[in-house]
Chains A and B, each alone.
Chain A
Amino acid sequence: GQNIDQPTEMTATEGAIVQINCTYQTSGFNGLFWYQQHAGEAPTFLSYNVLDGLEEKGRFSSFLSRSKGYSYLLLKELQMKDSASYLCAVKDSNYQLIWGAGTKLIIKP
């Protein structure tokens, strides 16, 4: 079967750095997405990786290793507004998007 694993919840301190991991087992791979979802709101697109390596976008970076079936989202200089759920999603060989359950990130002052 197809599976996306993320930690359920993480806690970090304002101003710090946090890394949210995502591992996947899917039938094929055509890209990995990270989305941010604040409580009660719809997801917003953060990043897309299809090749191995690190993609940096401001305070957020996303890393992919296809051989390991692994990605992480790195958030730097954490702000209180970064408190949200972070969803990892993988596009499989049929271009179907497989969603992880999300990681709830709690930022403490």
Chain B
Amino acid sequence: GAVVSQHPSWVICKSGTSVKIECRSLDFQATTMFWYRQFPKQSLMLMATSNEGSKATYEQGVEKDKFLINHASLTLSTLTVTSAHPEDSSFYICSQTGTGGADTQYFGPGTRLTVL
């Protein structure tokens, strides 16, 4: 498996501010991490794939200038929601592939973002 942590677990911010979410791999070096968003009662939506030392790959429809991803080390990837608005309120989850084989993804505990 893999142990992934996220910080913060929840955040409330005012509209227009930027919020940074950290995703750490605690027991496994992750060259690739994934960022998901999940709205209430909906499925996971992949936002981007974060690659260590290079630019992230964003899914269609996800604004790369709004959701800044930095993967500067093998154990840390960050997602910054810039100029957040109420519609950005969601549950943000990172994951990485671990040692389970078949590229099984192991998820962090998630960050609940509420934009007022």
A positions within 8 Å CB-CB of B? 31, 33, 40-45, 48, 50, 87, 91, 95-97, 99-102
Contacts and interface: CB of A to CB of B under 8 A. Distances in A.
Given A99-B43, A101-B42, A102-B43, A41 B100 contact: no
Contact of B106 (A31, A40, A45, A102): A45
Given A31-B102, A48-B102, A50-B102, A43 B107 contact: yes
A84 to B, nearest CB: 13
Interface of B: 1, 42-46, 91, 93, 95, 100-110, 112
Contacts of A44: 107
Contacts of B112: 40
A45 B43 contact: no
Contacts of A100: 43
B103 A91 contact: yes
